[in-house]
Structure 1
Amino acid sequence: MQEDFLHYIWQHQYFSKTNLTTTDGAALQVLRIGYYNTDAGPDFREALMRIGEVEWSGSVEVHLQASDWHRHQHQLDEKYDQVVLHVVWEADVPVYRMDGTLVPVLVLKGRVDLALLQTYERLLYAKDAVPCAAFWPAVPHITKTLMLERALVERLAAKGEEVLQTLQRYSNDWEQTAYHTLLRGFGFKANQQAFEELAKALPLSVVRRHQQNVLQLETLLFGQAGFLEEAQDAYAAQLLKEYRFLSHKYDLVPKAMQRHRWNFLRMRPANFPTVRLSQLAAILHQQQAFFSKLLEAQTVKQYEVLFQAPVSAYWQEHYLLGKPGKGLQKSMGKSSVQNLIINVAVPLLAAYASYSDNRLYLEKAVSLLEELKEASNKITRHYEDLGWQAKSAADNQAALSLYKRYCAPVNCMHCAIGNKVMKQSSSAA
Structure 2
Amino acid sequence: MREDFLHYIWQHQYFDKADLRTAGGEEIQVLRPGHRNADAGPDFLNARLRLGEVEWNGAVEIHLRASDWARHNHQIDPKYDQVILHVVGSHDAEVVRTNGSLIPALALQPRLMPELLGRYTALVEAPAAAPLPCAPLLGLVPEITRTMMVDRALFERVERKADAVLDLHQHLGQDWEATTYHALMAAFGFQKNSEPLARLAKALPLAVLRRHRHNPRQLEALLFGQAGFLADNEETVADEYIQSLKQEHEFLRHKYNLGAAALQVHEWNYLRLRPANFPPVRLGQLAGLLHARPALFDALVTAQSVSALAEFFQAPVSEYWRTHFRPGRAGKVPAIGKSSICLLITNVVVPLRVAYARHLGQPALVESSVALLSELPAEHNQFTDVYDALGFAHGSAADSQGLLALHKSYCAPRRCLHCAIGSRLVQQPRVAR
Whether the 8 Å CA contact 1:184–1:192 is kept in 2: the answer is yes
Instruction: Confirm whether residue 367 of structure 1 aligns to residue 386 of structure 2.
Output: no
Q: Determine the C-alpha separation between the residues in 2 that align with 1:315 and 1:57.
A: 68
Match of 1:121, as an amino acid?
Answer: T
Q: Tell me which moved more, 308-317 or 417-426.
A: 417-426
Q: Tell me which moved more, 360-369 or 111-120.
A: 360-369
Q: Tell me which moved more, 99-108 or 218-227.
A: 99-108
Q: Determine the C-alpha separation between the residues in 2 that align with 1:34 and 1:113.
A: 22
- Partner residue of 1:392? 396
- Partner residue of 1:139? 141
- The alignment's TM-score, normalised by the length of structure 1, stands at 0.97
Match of 1:168, as an amino acid?
Answer: Q
Distance 1:13 1:426, change over 3 A: farther
Q: CA deviation at 1:425?
A: 4.0
Aligned counterpart in structure 2 of residue 310 of structure 1, from 309, 316, 336: 316
Q: Determine the C-alpha separation between the residues in 2 that align with 1:391 and 1:339.
A: 16
- Partner residue of 2:353? 349
Whether the 8 Å CA contact 2:140–2:430 is kept in 1: the answer is no
Aligned counterpart in structure 1 of residue 291 of structure 2, from 267, 285, 296: 285
Q: CA deviation at 1:133?
A: 1.3
Q: CA deviation at 1:323?
A: 1.4
Whether the 8 Å CA contact 1:29–1:50 is kept in 2: the answer is yes
Q: CA deviation at 1:426?
A: 9.5
- Partner residue of 1:207? 209
Matches within 5 A, 1:227-242: 227-230=229-232, 231-232=236-237, 233-242=239-248
Q: CA deviation at 1:374?
A: 2.7
Match of 1:164, as an amino acid?
Answer: L
RMSD between aligned residues = 1.4
Q: Determine the C-alpha separation between the residues in 1 that align with 2:152 and 2:398.
A: 11
Instruction: Confirm whether residue 415 of structure 1 aligns to residue 409 of structure 2.
Output: no
Instruction: Confirm whether residue 103 of structure 1 aligns to residue 75 of structure 2.
Output: no
Match of 2:258, as an amino acid?
Answer: L
- Partner residue of 1:38? 38
Aligned counterpart in structure 1 of residue 187 of structure 2, from 185, 188, 204: 185
Q: Determine the C-alpha separation between the residues in 1 that align with 2:41 and 2:282.
A: 48
Aligned counterpart in structure 2 of residue 358 of structure 1, from 352, 359, 362: 362
Q: CA deviation at 1:361?
A: 2.7
Q: Determine the C-alpha separation between the residues in 1 that align with 2:328 and 2:101.
A: 79
Aligned counterpart in structure 1 of residue 277 of structure 2, from 262, 271, 289: 271
Q: Determine the C-alpha separation between the residues in 2 that align with 1:266 and 1:22.
A: 61
- Partner residue of 2:52? 52
Match of 2:29, as an amino acid?
Answer: Q
Q: Determine the C-alpha separation between the residues in 2 that align with 1:373 and 1:2.
A: 39
Q: Determine the C-alpha separation between the residues in 2 that align with 1:272 and 1:361.
A: 35
Aligned counterpart in structure 2 of residue 319 of structure 1, from 314, 317, 325: 325
Aligned counterpart in structure 2 of residue 174 of structure 1, from 173, 176, 180: 176
- Partner residue of 1:249? 255
- Partner residue of 1:20? 20
Q: Determine the C-alpha separation between the residues in 1 that align with 2:259 and 2:69.
A: 55
State percent identity of aligned pairs.
52
Q: Determine the C-alpha separation between the residues in 2 that align with 1:73 and 1:339.
A: 46
Distance 1:425 1:52, change over 3 A: farther
Aligned counterpart in structure 1 of residue 198 of structure 2, from 196, 203, 206: 196
Q: Determine the C-alpha separation between the residues in 2 that align with 1:297 and 1:338.
A: 15
Whether the 8 Å CA contact 2:140–2:429 is kept in 1: the answer is no
Q: Determine the C-alpha separation between the residues in 1 that align with 2:200 and 2:381.
A: 28
Secondary structure, in 3 states, of the residue corresponding to 2:428?
A: helix
Whether the 8 Å CA contact 1:42–1:79 is kept in 2: the answer is yes
Match of 2:7, as an amino acid?
Answer: H
Q: Determine the C-alpha separation between the residues in 1 that align with 2:341 and 2:186.
A: 14
What is the count of residue pairs matched by the alignment? 425
Match of 1:373, as an amino acid?
Answer: P
Q: Determine the C-alpha separation between the residues in 2 that align with 1:90 and 1:96.
A: 17
Q: Determine the C-alpha separation between the residues in 2 that align with 1:426 and 1:396.
A: 29
Q: Determine the C-alpha separation between the residues in 2 that align with 1:314 and 1:424.
A: 63
Q: CA deviation at 1:84?
A: 1.4
Runs of 4+ in 1 over 6 A off after TM superposition: none
Match of 2:51, as an amino acid?
Answer: I
* Unpaired runs of at least 5, structure 2: none
